[in-house]
Amino acid sequence: MKKVLREKKHLKIRRKAIGTKDKPRLSVFRSSQHIYVQIIDDTTSKTLVSSSDIKMAKAGKLQKAYQVGKELAEKAIKAKIKTIVFDRGGFLYKGRIAAVGKGAREGGLKF
């Protein structure tokens, strides 16, 4: 039931959060163990930059999420991406999702 509700929220968010070439979409997915983020250009349906916490050193989930956001921001800056649209994927903007956002902002991305 929770998954269905989250997917409904995600579809509602996706109606408004559309990534373009100038302002791509940062999509976040959170599983129980890991967090995955990617920057997507929806006009061409291509992933421009991605990152996850799978190969990171042992740390808490919040620290890993923050590091993933910061790492993604560094990759995005190298790919000449500075502004994005944040797509939280139907998850609430707190905890690990907020940590990704904080890391991305501190890495140099603008929402």
Extents of the domains making up the chain: 2-107
- The DSSP result for 20-40, as a single string, is -SSS-EEEEEE-SS-EEEEEE
Note the pLDDT tens digit of each residue in 38-71: 999 988 999 999 999 998 888 899 999 999 999 9
Q: Model confidence at 10, in pLDDT bands (50, 70, 90)?
A: confident
Share of the chain above pLDDT 90, in %: 66
Q: Which two tokens stand for residue 15?
A: 């109606």
Please compute the mean of the pLDDT values over residues 85-90 and round it to a whole number: 90
Asked: is 2-107 a CATH 3.30.420.100 domain? The reply is yes
Instruction: Return the DSSP state at 83.
Output: B
Determine contact, residues 25/84, Cβ cutoff 8 Å.
Answer: yes
- pLDDT higher for 15 or 44? 44
Place of tokens 């902002």: 105
* CA torsion, ordered 105, 14, 97, 84, to nearest 10 deg: -10
pTM for this prediction: 0.86
Sheet holding 35-41: strands in order across? 46-52, 35-41, 25-30, 85-87
